[in-house]
C-alpha cells in the first residue's frame, strides 16, 4: 500500500490504495460538505453494534448523541471509498496541546484492506502537526486486530493487560518524544 507522509497536508485529501489496489481517500470531516449523513449511515450499517467498549451504541438515539459529541469535541477524519464513508477516526483532546485520545472504526465490509492502518498513520502525523506530545487510547485486550494495527503504527502497551488495556505513542517534539 502506498502511504506518503511527505505529501500529507491538513487541508487536502490523501489518496491511497488498499491492499487490493482499490483507491480510497482520507480527509478531514467537513460538515459543510454534507459529511454528517453519510457518516451517520456508516454507523447505522456498522455491525456488530457495541462490539468494542460498547461502541458504536445500539440505539439510534444514543448513537446519534455519541457521534455528535465526537464531531463537536474532536478532530474527525473520514476514509472514503466508492463514494461512501467507510471509516472514521477521531482525536479528542485530553490535555490542551499535550495529549489526545484516539478512536477508529472501519465498516465491516471494508476491514482488513489496510484502511484502519492508513487512518491511524494519518492521525499520528496529524496529531504531531497539531503539536501534541502523546496519543493515548484504551482497547479491549481481546481486540487483537486493533492492537496489531496500533502496534504497527508505533503505539505501545502501557500498564497492566486487563479487560481493557492502555496504549500510547509519543510524538516528536513532545517532552516524552523519542
Ligand X SMILES: CC(C)(COP(=O)(O)OP(=O)(O)OC[C@H]1O[C@@H](n2cnc3c(N)ncnc32)[C@H](O)[C@@H]1OP(=O)(O)O)[C@@H](O)C(=O)NCCC(=O)NCCS
Q: Would you tell me which residues interact with ligand X (CB under 6 A)?
A: 51-52, 103-106, 111-117, 139, 143-146, 148-149, 152
CB of residue 71 to ligand X, shortest distance in Å? 16
Q: Which is nearer to ligand X, 98 or 145 (CB)?
A: 145
What b/e string do you get for 50-82 counting C-beta neighbours within 10 Å, with b at 16 or more? Answer: eebeebbbeeeeebeebbeebbeebbbbbbbbe
CB of residue 91 to ligand X, shortest distance in Å? 13
Residue 77, strand partner residues? 28, 89
Q: Which is nearer to ligand X, 19 or 175 (CB)?
A: 19
Q: Are 120 and 104 in contact (CB under 8 A)?
A: yes
Q: Which is nearer to ligand X, 159 or 177 (CB)?
A: 159
List the grid coordinates of 9: 497536508
Q: Which is nearer to ligand X, 135 or 146 (CB)?
A: 146
CB of residue 14 to ligand X, shortest distance in Å? 15
CB of residue 120 to ligand X, shortest distance in Å? 8
Residue 31, helix vs strand vs coil: helix
Amino acid at each position: 500500500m502506498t502511504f506518503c507522509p511527505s505529501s500529507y497536508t491538513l487541508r487536502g485529501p490523501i489518496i491511497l490504495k488498499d491492499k487490493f489496489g482499490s483507491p480510497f481517500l482520507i480527509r478531514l470531516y467537513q460538515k459543510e460538505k454534507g459529511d454528517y449523513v453519510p457518516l451517520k449511515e456508516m454507523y447505522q450499517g456498522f455491525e456488530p453494534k457495541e462490539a468494542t467498549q460498547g461502541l458504536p451504541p445500539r440505539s439510534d438515539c444514543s448513537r446519534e448523541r455519541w457521534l455528535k459529541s465526537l464531531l463537536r469535541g474532536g478532530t474527525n477524519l473520514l476514509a472514503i471509498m466508492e463514494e461512501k464513508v467507510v471509516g472514521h477516526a477521531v482525536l479528542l483532546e485530553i490535555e490542551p496541546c499535550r495529549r489526545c485520545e484516539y478512536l477508529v472504526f472501519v465498516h465491516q465490509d471494508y476491514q482488513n484492506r489496510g484502511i484502519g492502518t492508513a487512518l491511524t498513520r494519518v492521525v499520528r502525523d496529524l496529531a504531531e502537526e497539531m503539536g501534541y506530545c502523546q496519543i493515548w487510547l484504551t482497547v479491549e485486550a481481546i481486540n487483537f486486530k486493533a492492537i496489531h494495527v496500533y502496534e504497527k503504527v508505533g503505539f505501545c502497551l502501557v500498564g497492566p493487560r486487563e479487560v481493557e488495556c492502555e496504549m500510547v505513542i509519543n510524538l516528536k517534539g513532545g517532552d516524552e518524544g523519542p
